[in-house]
Amino acid sequence: MTYATAVERPVRPNPCIRTFWHMGQRLSFRTSPSRPSGRLPGSTSSAAAELRGVSKTFGAGDQAVRALRDVTIGFAPGVFTAIMGPSGSGKSTLLNVLAGLDRVDAGEVFIGGTEITGLEDRGLTLLRRRRLGFVFQSFNLMPALTARENIVLPSELDRRRVDQDELASLVHSLGIADRLHHRPSELSGGQQQRVAIARALLGRPDLVVCDEPTGALDSTSGAEVLSALRAACDERRQTVVMVTHDAAAACRADRVLVLRDGRLVEEIDAPTLDRVTTALNDAGTPAAAGSVAS
Ligand code: ADP
Ligand code: MG
């Protein structure tokens, strides 16, 4: 059952609060009276995710850090986007607000047409569980569980039925079908990250966010992980947003966004190493020396 087919049951008189019952749980979110559908004017309903005029400041007064300044960007389905920029330029903050892990100070964030900036905590948690996949630099696998148990854990916690055919095809395409009964400590770093990718992709979330997914891997394993993310976009039409310091890794993406001081300063479609390196130099950071994208 999707949100669209959930039964709408108004339980509050406030016209700006809409409540849905979904799988026995109540989801409430605010809608703007001027945009009752929850969509941005002029935005395509097909965008997997969008930021519109997003700003985020940490701290206050002299200590204030403006991590994001008026960032507007859309992520179309099936597109692989890499985010680059100097350390402290706002890359992780952008990923976190996109995934609803950080609240914004201004602007709007949409996931699959739902404005998450208006969601209450519980609705946000459910939406994150069902419509977002996460891949971290450090894999974040449960050490006591097998690879298979790790992959299906979010679905089981959410009492969602696991599509066994999808699981089988996913682990086959990731090359980990024969590793499913091993614990993380019995797997290489690249295999662990591919388990984490299978966990993120299972259930076909609207958006998969990856924060330096190849950062802890050797070049061969990193290349395998990038191929897996590339295939997720090309073959499964999933939408991937990846932060990376590696210009060659970023060139496996369909486009590269470059941040500087919390602002989007460059958007490169069909990136080449030359263009990305130049953009990074312009943004004040040299391209990383090591490459995982051979
Ligand atoms: P990047 O991922 O590009 O290195 P971040 O998004 O992590 O940058 O951080 C952007 C800026 O915001 C940095 O100056 C960082 O120190 C600051 N920042 C990030 N998270 C916090 C936080 N939770 N509290 C205070 N400052 C933060
Ligand atoms: Mg970061």
Q: How far is the CA of 139 from the centre of ligand 1 (A)?
A: 21
Q: What pTM was computed for the model?
A: 0.82
Written as tens digits, the pLDDT of the chain (294 aa) is 333 333 333 333 433 333 433 344 443 433 333 333 333 343 444 689 999 999 999 999 999 999 999 999 999 999 999 999 999 999 999 999 999 999 999 999 999 888 999 899 888 988 888 899 999 999 999 999 999 999 999 999 888 899 999 999 999 989 999 999 999 999 999 999 999 999 999 988 989 999 999 998 899 989 989 999 999 999 989 999 999 999 999 999 999 999 999 999 999 999 999 999 999 998 887 655 445 554
Q: How far is the CA of 92 from the centre of ligand 2 (A)?
A: 4
Nearest to 83 by CA among 272, 293, 256: 256
Q: How far is the CA of 27 from the centre of ligand 1 (A)?
A: 30
Choosing from 62, 65, 261 the residue with most ligand 1 atoms within 8 A of its CB, the one to mutate for a pocket test is 65
Which protein residues touch ligand 1 with a CB less than 6 Å away?
58-59, 65, 67, 85, 87-93
Amino acid letter, 19: T
Domain boundaries, the chain: 7-36, 78-91+118-283
| Residues 254 and 269 sit within 8 Å (Cβ to Cβ) | yes
| Residues 31 and 12 sit within 8 Å (Cβ to Cβ) | no
| Residues 196 and 87 sit within 8 Å (Cβ to Cβ) | no
CATH architecture of the region 78-91+118-283: 3-Layer(aba) Sandwich (3.40)
